[in-house]
Structure 1
Amino acid sequence: MNVIDISDLSFAYGDEMVLHGVTLQVARGDYAVLLGENGTGKSTFLKLLLGELNPQQGKIYLFGSDTKKVFHADKIGYVPQNSISLNPFFPATVEEIVLTNLYSQIGRFRLPGKKQRQQATNALRWAGMEEYSKSRIGELSGGQQQRVMLARALAANPELLVLDEPTTGVDAASVRELYRKLEKLNREEGVTILMVTHASVKECAGISRIYHMEEGQVVER
Structure 2
Amino acid sequence: MKKLVVLTGAGISAESGINTFRDAGGLWEEHDIMEVASPDGFRKNPELVLDFYNKRRKQLQEVSPNKAHFNLVELEQYFDVEIITQNVDDLHKRAGSKKVTHLHGELLKVRSTVDESIVLDWKDDLVLGDFDVNGNQLRPHIVWFGEMVPMLENAIKITEKADILVIVGTSMQVYPAASLINYVKSGTPIYFIDPKPSVAKSDFLNLTIISEVASKGTDKLKEFLL
| Interval containing the TM-score (normalised by the shorter chain) | 0.3 to 0.5
Q: Greater relative contact order (Cα 8 A, min sep 6): structure 1 or 2?
A: 1
Q: TM-score if structure 1 supplies the norm length?
A: 0.35
